Amino acid sequence: MSQDVQTMYALVERWNAGERGLDVVAEYCDPTIEYESPFSSVVGEPYRGHEGIEQWTHDIDEQFAEWRWSLEDVREVGDAVIAIGGVHGRGRASGVVLEFPSAAVAYFGTDRRITRLRIYLDVSEALKAVGLEG
């Protein structure tokens, strides 16, 4: 298993364990990271830098009492890592439980930290983004 694939597993494991502080972000994410998620459309642009990741975390925590990732398949495809799995969430105010598939495509810098990360709610779109059939 490559170091980049291991990084994706470790990042999700630590997130699910509640480790979401700046030290974790700095360990796995480049200071200039560009992060696109479904919430990016709310702000109109990707979250940028460690501050952007902290804002995204705040946005998630503000809306959801629970937000966990599951990984079914993580692999390198060219210069990217694709992670396919799902999200389990529970609304903070409503208590409504959400379960949906998702995928992430990550690119890494020379220091093996993530420089660009995009979350897809449509797994086939993520597969197409890395050149695989959807």
pLDDT at 43: 66
Q: Give the pLDDT means over successive 10-residue stretches in the chain (134 positions).
A: 95 93 90 89 82 90 94 96 97 96 96 96 96 81
pLDDT at 83: 98
Delimit the domains of the chain by residue range. Answer: 3-129
10 Å CB burial of residue 41 (0-12, 13-18, 19+) is exposed
* CA–CA distances in Å: residue 126 to residues 12, 26, 58, 59: 18, 25, 25, 23
Locate tokens 């796995």: which residue? 28
CATH class, 3-129 region? alpha beta
> 119-132: b or e for each residue (b if 16 or more CB lie within 10 Å)?
bbeebeebbebbee
